[in-house]
Every structure is written in C-alpha cells, then in structure tokens.
Amino acid sequence: MYLRKNLPQQLATGRLLPLCLLVLLAVGCAQKKDDAQPLANKQLPSRFGFGRPATAAQIAAVDIDVRPDGQGLPPGSGTVPEGRAIYATKCASCHGATGVEGPYNRLVSSDTSRAKAIGNYWPYATTLFDYIRRAMPFNAPGSLSNDEVYHLTAYLLHANGLVAADIEMNAANLPKVVMPAEDLFFPDDRTGGAEIR
C-alpha cells in the first residue's frame, strides 16, 4: 500500500487503518520498553533549567502562619470601633451586616442558632487572625494590613461576646483570649497505626 493523492478517500474507506494501528503499536512498545527501565538507571539532570532558589525575603513573605500560642503574630494592634468600620466596608457584603445574615459563612454565634461560628466553634482566637490575614477579603486575599487584621479580629471577637468593647487587640493579648470551644478540640496523639509526623 502506498499513499496516493486521494488520501481523504483512503482514510474514509479505512484502507490506512492497518498502517495506523501498526504505527501506534510500535510507538506503544517503544514507550513501554523505556518505562521498564528502573529510575535508578536513568540519567536525570541536576537542574531542569527553570526556576531559582527563593530568597529569604520571598520566604518571609509567605511564612505568615500563626500558631495557637501566638507564635507568628506580627506587631500591630486593633480596636473594636475601627474593626466595625472595616467590616462594614470589606466584609459585610459576604457575611452580612452583623455577621449573622450571610449569604456566606456565619461569623457571629447567637443563642437562637446552632450554626457553627467563631464564638461557638473556633478553638483558638489566633486562628481568626491567621485566617483573615491569609484569606480575606475573598476578592483580595492578603490585601489587609496587620493593623486592619487586628481591628477585624477585635471586632469579631467582641461581636461574639468574647472580649470587651474597649480592648486594644495585639500580639500579647490575642493568644490569651479563651474560646468557648477550645475544650472540644484536642491533639490527635494516637499511636499504634499509621502515624503522620
């Protein structure tokens, strides 16, 4: 069989099907033979020719986690009134005017609702700061300054009845806020099975 000028007709009548199957089989066998070689026998490049090591400043920019004990909290402070104003501008459209209405997650717990919220479900106050700083507002995550995050944290903790209205929230007192649900959470220290370290 050889290719003629009327290739579309040959394709339509199936005359090239045996040839195509033969080519696919040969390619598949060659690929399988290459895959059968152990990885240790393959010569891998030391570099792949893209990227570069991250600088200390680049690592610091994304190393922003805050632990339950407050380690990782940045300098700054915030108050409830300032937090209320920021909330109205940057948060209310998603969480409602008072943090109860939604349409997205409820932030403020109430006696009439058992829905999970900051005041009745979150185990650590520092987690609130950490989450707001890295993920909010939804349309511009990471855009808030540290002081703005402290303001919002103070406001939301106050709205949940956990801190006084005149508190100045900062790295020293935020880890000391006792959350009602803290005792409902505990470290998974089970042993005897598949353990994650």
Tokens of 115: 């829905």
- What's the confidence (pLDDT) of residue 48? 80
Q: What is the mean pLDDT of residues 142-171?
A: 97
pLDDT of 164 over the 60 cut: yes
Is 58's pLDDT higher than 60? yes
Q: Which residues pair with 113 in a beta bridge?
A: 110
Indicate if the alpha-carbon torsion angle 177, 90, 86, 150 is positive or negative. Answer: positive
Residues in the chain, how many? 197
Most confident of 3-12, 13-22, 101-110, 153-162: 153-162
Model confidence at 16: pLDDT above 90: no
Residue 56 neighbours by CB under 8 Å, 6+ apart: none
Rounded Cα distance, 123 and 117, in Å? 11
Per the model's pLDDT, the better-predicted residue between 142 and 5 turns out to be: 142
Measured at the CA of 144, the angle between CA 141 and CA 123, to 5 degrees, comes to 75
The secondary structure of residue 197, as a DSSP letter, is -
Give CA separation, 159 vs 39, 95, 163, in Å. Answer: 58, 13, 8
CATH architecture observed for domain 78-183: Orthogonal Bundle (1.10)
Average confidence (pLDDT) over 44-68: 88
Q: What is the average per-residue pLDDT within 110-122?
A: 83
Residues in CB range of 25: below 8 A, 6 or more apart? none
Q: Which of 18-27, 30-39, 177-186 has the lowest mean pLDDT?
A: 30-39
Q: Inform me whether the pLDDT recorded for 139 exceeds 80.
A: yes
